[in-house]
Amino acid sequence: MARRVVDVLVPVALNQTYSYRVPDDADLKPGDVVCVPLGPREVTAVVWAENETPDPRLHNRLKDIGEKLDVPPLKPELRSFVDWVANYTLSARGMVLRMTLRMGEHLGPERVRMGVRLVGDPPPRMTPARGRLIEALSDKLLHGKSEVAKEAGVSAGVIDGLVDEGTLAIEPMPREIAAPSPDPSFSAPDFSDEQRVAGEALKTLAANGGFHVALLDGVTGSGKTEVYFEAVAEIVRRGQQVMILMPEIALTGQFLDRFAARFGVRPVEWHSELTPRTRARNWASVAAGTARVVVGARSALFLPYANLGLIIVDEEHDQAYKQSDGAHYHARDMAVVRGSIAKIPVVLCSATPSVETEVNARTGRYQRVVLPSRFGGQHMPQILPIDLRRESPPRDKFISPRLAEEIRTAVDRKEQALLFLNRRGYAPLTLCRACGHRFSCTICDAWLVDHRFRQKLACHHCGFSMPRPHVCPHCAAAESLAAIGPGVERLQEEAAALFPDARTMVLSSDLVTSIETMRSELNEIAEGRVDIIIGTQLVAKGHNFPRLNLVGVVDADLGLGNGDPRAAERTFQLLNQVIGRAGRDKGYGIGYLQTHQPEHPVMQALVAANREAFYATEIEARERAMYPPFGRLASLIISAGDRPTAEGFARKLASAAPFDERVQVLGPAEAPLAVIKGRYRFRILVKSARNFDLSNYLRDWVAVGPKTKGNLKLEIDVDPQSFL
Ligand code: ADP
Ligand code: ZN
């Protein structure tokens, strides 16, 4: 007789499921996590669906499913989510599934084990196996599931049968050190009136349940975190789980402490730097439902929550939410999708919402909850422009005289100053003064960045680096190399020369060796052991530096001139956020914008503290150009080892685009970053009407278009955030 067959999704780059035979005594249902043979390997995979009509000719060739892991099955809502994300982003389902199975290939000895306990009456229909099992559990204590099955000589199916009938209950086995639950009333803050109103709104949202999106829109320092903790507390009280997404998990040390101050314990963390052991433990406790609050990077979206009740996306506008390798998904958008599938509320938080979210709030699709002022009556920092055309720094220097004077005053007052420059390294370009030779990457279309701390010239796109030479490799001139333009390291040199008595510190992602050192450096700053902080966008995010009152933006124009449709939005958000670090405690913060274009609408909106003006201009421009959220975009990025191959394929692909009057196909054009890692790149931009199923259109297109072969590669990026 033919055995039962199920379709299993394996965590590899494939869209389709594979059929496997179910061993006779195995009780398997969709969602179960199992080991299956895949070629020469065994992999952890998930039963995706029953296969009602297996092909009888293949039956004998099918392999058997191996062991079923002792973890709760993936819920239908998570399986639908995996399917949804894969479908929308045109990623292989297996790759998306892989993100939910990041507990390590096998859970190992630390996994949560499920136990079984006698809780109800004997079933109407008794069998000898059921009798033995009930006998073995008669002490009403929690027994390991597999142990008791073995003891009673029954299969796991007998246990599950009695669970269904209510005789037995499955519960996670206690572990050596069970993480204590957050206590929702451990230490509730005294709210201002504004905060109380906002907190009540979020609490109601959490209590009502159901899918609903709120934008918590509050200026920097208004206490958004304290306020959304109200919703967290409500969900914890209800025995459900909360997922809090953060753009940059390395920077959440302060957040963990604040959480502990409010709830008595730290939340469970989820990010790429967890040790394998912690990762397995955290994964299992999320699956068992014992991890009540999870704070994580975007990958936390894919965890198998047992009972998720609320999703919070902090700094929802942050571009770090977009994953740009593997599956190209935007974690904020997918959080909303997950909320809608799981029918639970979602709270997006920002002081400068993304234009997409802002439009959704304006049209009433999202509920807006506002915190209009800083906690404790502190003023927002004042923002002043420094017109570099009139007040320029000395030659080969980057700090204007006025900014230098302000820093001097701050340092004399024993306050901190932050110099913000979103550029790593010492200088973005090195050239030979004798022959004009410029150092560029050998395999990318990019200059090599001078990194003095590491004593290297390095490519930011492929990681190539070389020692900084003493003579020009082109003309052999000695001592002829000049650094052009500033990076944070060069700025530190300048600051140290200007203020020899001040303590300076550079914060830049390439200098961060681990989350722990990062956290301790941030603590040093918060404790006031640094006078001048020099940082990239790493410092913009979510820190409280109580003694910081002055922020100098060294090159406010840096992000504006790159042809990116989101350049204005990003610059506005980033500068607002970084200047928002100032004056949180004393309430007299000030931000200086060194700019060549003080008349630019972004600079004007910042200086006038007129957020409204910024959104009005930006929303209108987007609407006119049919850019998101008024239209939809996708990028097709074609790359190959040589230019003609890439270009030829891109042209063929573009001409294969199915005609649809709601779609515009632009390009192919050579990518702004024309060569990365020796690969030549072309881009096609696809624009469509807002209510158009662009993913489906792309799928049809790729199906009829030319096929990639050799080293040709086609990447599809739906809702692209980068246009390089
Ligand atoms: P945001 O995220 O809106 O920038 P935060 O949540 O970081 O603001 O709050 C800014 C600071 O104000 C934090 O140090 C926070 O602990 C403090 N704060 C906010 N609300 C309260 C309150 N009700 N009582 C005491 N401290 C508060
Ligand atoms: Zn390179």
Compute the distance from residue 222 Cα to the ligand 1 centre, in Å: 6
Rounded average pLDDT over 122-132: 89
With the most atoms of ligand 1 within 8 angstroms of its CB, the residue from 187, 217, 226, 548 to mutate is 226
pLDDT category of residue 286 using cuts at 50, 70 and 90: very high
- CB of residue 220 inside a 6 A radius of ligand 1: yes
Rounded average pLDDT over 600-609: 94
Compute the distance from residue 307 Cα to the ligand 2 centre, in Å: 45
Task: Report whether pLDDT(562) > 80.
Answer: no
Cα–Cα distance measured from residue 657 to residue 716, given in angstroms and rounded to the nearest whole number = 14
- CB of residue 203 inside a 6 A radius of ligand 1: no
pLDDT above 90: percentage of residues in the chain: 70
Rounded average pLDDT over 5-16: 93
How far lies 318's CA from each of 111, 323, 573, in Å? Answer: 34, 12, 9
Closest-CA residue, ligand 1 atom 23, reads 191
Rounded average pLDDT over 205-212: 96
Asked if 436 and 557 count as a contact pair (C-beta separation under 8 A), the reply is no
Cα–Cα distance measured from residue 543 to residue 526, given in angstroms and rounded to the nearest whole number = 8
> For 624-675, how does the pLDDT look when each residue is reduced to its tens digit (9 = 90+)?
999 999 999 999 999 999 999 999 999 999 999 999 999 999 989 999 889 9
Asked if 258 and 327 count as a contact pair (C-beta separation under 8 A), the reply is no
> For 165-198, how does the pLDDT look when each residue is reduced to its tens digit (9 = 90+)?
889 998 887 664 556 899 999 998 999 999 999 9
Q: Which atom of ligand 1 is nearest to the CA of 219?
A: 3
With the most atoms of ligand 1 within 8 angstroms of its CB, the residue from 375, 581, 584 to mutate is 375
Asked if 112 and 33 count as a contact pair (C-beta separation under 8 A), the reply is no
> For 409-455, how does the pLDDT look when each residue is reduced to its tens digit (9 = 90+)?
999 999 999 999 999 999 999 999 999 999 999 888 889 999 998 88
Compute the distance from residue 438 Cα to the ligand 2 centre, in Å: 14
User: Which DSSP category does 21 fall into?
Assistant: E
What residues contact 410, with CB distance under 8 A and at least 6 apart? 416, 417, 549, 550
Given CA atoms 73, 79, 85, 91 in this order, what sign does their dihedral have? positive
Report residue 686 as tokens.
């696809």
Closest-CA residue, ligand 1 atom 19, reads 223
Helices (H), ranges, 209-316: 224-237, 253-263, 276-288
Task: Report whether pLDDT(108) > 80.
Answer: no
- CB of residue 648 inside a 6 A radius of ligand 1: no
Cα–Cα distance measured from residue 100 to residue 622, given in angstroms and rounded to the nearest whole number = 35
Q: Which atom of ligand 1 is nearest to the CA of 191?
A: 23
pLDDT greater at residue 403 or residue 470: 403
User: Which DSSP category does 393 fall into?
Assistant: P
Cα–Cα distance measured from residue 315 to residue 566, given in angstroms and rounded to the nearest whole number = 17
Task: Report whether pLDDT(229) > 70.
Answer: yes
- CB of residue 222 inside a 6 A radius of ligand 1: yes
Burial of 1 (0-12, 13-18, 19+ CB in 10 A): exposed
Closest-CA residue, ligand 1 atom 12, reads 223
Q: What is residue 653's three-state secondary structure?
A: helix
Cα–Cα distance measured from residue 207 to residue 455, given in angstroms and rounded to the nearest whole number = 56
* Pairing, β 504-507 against β 532-535: parallel
Q: What is residue 683's three-state secondary structure?
A: strand
Report residue 625 as tokens.
């150009």
Compute the distance from residue 226 Cα to the ligand 1 centre, in Å: 6
pLDDT greater at residue 401 or residue 455: 401
Asked if 688 and 631 count as a contact pair (C-beta separation under 8 A), the reply is yes
What residues contact 613, with CB distance under 8 A and at least 6 apart? 601, 604, 605
Given CA atoms 558, 559, 563, 567 in this order, what sign does their dihedral have? negative
Asked if 328 and 721 count as a contact pair (C-beta separation under 8 A), the reply is no
With the most atoms of ligand 1 within 8 angstroms of its CB, the residue from 225, 258, 317, 370 to mutate is 225
Closest-CA residue, ligand 1 atom 2, reads 224
Report residue 636 as tokens.
């097709």
In the numeric block, the tokens 């000695």 are attached to: 478
Asked if 266 and 293 count as a contact pair (C-beta separation under 8 A), the reply is no
Q: Which atom of ligand 1 is nearest to the CA of 195?
A: 23
- CB of residue 289 inside a 6 A radius of ligand 1: no
58-67, 366-375, 614-623: which range is least confident on average?
Answer: 58-67
Closest-CA residue, ligand 1 atom 18, reads 223
Q: Which atom of ligand 1 is nearest to the CA of 258?
A: 16
pLDDT greater at residue 147 or residue 38: 38
- Cα dihedral 114/119/120/122 (nearest 10): 70
Asked if 563 and 683 count as a contact pair (C-beta separation under 8 A), the reply is no
pLDDT of 141 reads 84
- CB of residue 113 inside a 6 A radius of ligand 1: no
Cα–Cα distance measured from residue 192 to residue 170, given in angstroms and rounded to the nearest whole number = 45
pLDDT greater at residue 106 or residue 454: 454
Task: Report whether pLDDT(107) > 60.
Answer: no
pLDDT of 211 reads 98
> For 30-57, how does the pLDDT look when each residue is reduced to its tens digit (9 = 90+)?
999 999 999 888 999 999 999 888 887 7
Angle between helix 76-89 and 331-342 (nearest 10)? 140
pLDDT category of residue 109 using cuts at 50, 70 and 90: very low
pLDDT of 142 reads 86
- CB of residue 195 inside a 6 A radius of ligand 1: yes
Q: Which helix (H) or strand (E) holds 704?
A: helix 694-704
The chain-wide mean pLDDT, for the chain, equals 91
Compute the distance from residue 673 Cα to the ligand 2 centre, in Å: 11
Compute the distance from residue 371 Cα to the ligand 1 centre, in Å: 11
Compute the distance from residue 258 Cα to the ligand 1 centre, in Å: 10
Q: Which atom of ligand 1 is nearest to the CA of 351?
A: 3
pLDDT of 565 reads 84
Report residue 16 as tokens.
């389709």
Asked if 48 and 79 count as a contact pair (C-beta separation under 8 A), the reply is yes
> Which residue, 621, 709, 722, 624, is CA-closest to 671?
722
What residues contact 655, with CB distance under 8 A and at least 6 apart? none
Cα–Cα distance measured from residue 408 to residue 402, given in angstroms and rounded to the nearest whole number = 10
Burial of 685 (0-12, 13-18, 19+ CB in 10 A): middle
Compute the distance from residue 273 Cα to the ligand 1 centre, in Å: 28
Cα–Cα distance measured from residue 475 to residue 493, given in angstroms and rounded to the nearest whole number = 29
**Which amino acid appears at position 448 of this protein?**
L
> For 466-489, how does the pLDDT look when each residue is reduced to its tens digit (9 = 90+)?
998 989 999 999 989 999 999 999
- CB of residue 378 inside a 6 A radius of ligand 1: no
Report residue 322 as tokens.
């977009």
Burial of 55 (0-12, 13-18, 19+ CB in 10 A): exposed
Cα–Cα distance measured from residue 89 to residue 531, given in angstroms and rounded to the nearest whole number = 46
**Which amino acid appears at position 104 of this protein?**
G
Cα–Cα distance measured from residue 540 to residue 573, given in angstroms and rounded to the nearest whole number = 10
Q: Which of 124-128, 235-239, 542-546 has the highest mean pLDDT?
A: 235-239
SS (H, E, C) 130-194: HHHHHHHCCCCCCEEHHHHHHHHCCCHHHHHHHHHCCCEEEEECCCCCCCCCCCCCCCCCCCCHH
Q: Which helix (H) or strand (E) holds 510?
A: none
Task: Report whether pLDDT(379) > 90.
Answer: no
Compute the distance from residue 560 Cα to the ligand 1 centre, in Å: 31
DSSP per-residue codes, 571-606? HHHHHHHHHTTTTTTTS--EEEEEES-TTSHHHHHH
312-338 as b/e: b if 16+ CB within 10 A = bbbbbbbbbbbbeeebbbbbbbbbbbb
Report residue 395 as tokens.
């030659």
Q: Which atom of ligand 1 is nearest to the CA of 314?
A: 2
What residues contact 329, with CB distance under 8 A and at least 6 apart? 85, 88, 89, 91, 298, 322, 323
Closest-CA residue, ligand 1 atom 20, reads 223
Closest-CA residue, ligand 1 atom 5, reads 223
pLDDT of 198 reads 98
pLDDT of 251 reads 67
Task: Report whether pLDDT(110) > 50.
Answer: no
Asked if 487 and 428 count as a contact pair (C-beta separation under 8 A), the reply is yes
- CB of residue 350 inside a 6 A radius of ligand 1: no
Closest-CA residue, ligand 1 atom 15, reads 223
Cα–Cα distance measured from residue 216 to residue 167, given in angstroms and rounded to the nearest whole number = 46
pLDDT of 104 reads 64
How far lies 426's CA from each of 137, 307, 454, 577, 586, in Å? Answer: 69, 49, 10, 24, 33
Q: Which atom of ligand 1 is nearest to the CA of 225?
A: 6
- CB of residue 546 inside a 6 A radius of ligand 1: no
How far lies 599's CA from each of 139, 385, 554, 596, in Å? Answer: 79, 10, 17, 9
pLDDT of 317 reads 95
Report residue 516 as tokens.
């722990």
Report residue 452 as tokens.
């003095």
Q: Which atom of ligand 1 is nearest to the CA of 218?
A: 3
Asked if 76 and 305 count as a contact pair (C-beta separation under 8 A), the reply is no
Rounded average pLDDT over 243-248: 93
In the numeric block, the tokens 């709030």 are attached to: 361
For the beta carbon of residue 621, count every other beta carbon within 10 angstroms.
15
Task: Report whether pLDDT(586) > 80.
Answer: no
How far lies 707's CA from each of 311, 589, 656, 701, 716, in Å? Answer: 40, 57, 11, 11, 14
- CB of residue 223 inside a 6 A radius of ligand 1: yes
Longest CA–CA span in the chain (Å) reads 95
> For 304-361, how does the pLDDT look when each residue is reduced to its tens digit (9 = 90+)?
999 999 999 999 999 999 998 888 999 999 999 999 999 999 999 999 999 999 999 9
Burial of 593 (0-12, 13-18, 19+ CB in 10 A): buried
Report residue 682 as tokens.
């072309």
Compute the distance from residue 483 Cα to the ligand 2 centre, in Å: 19
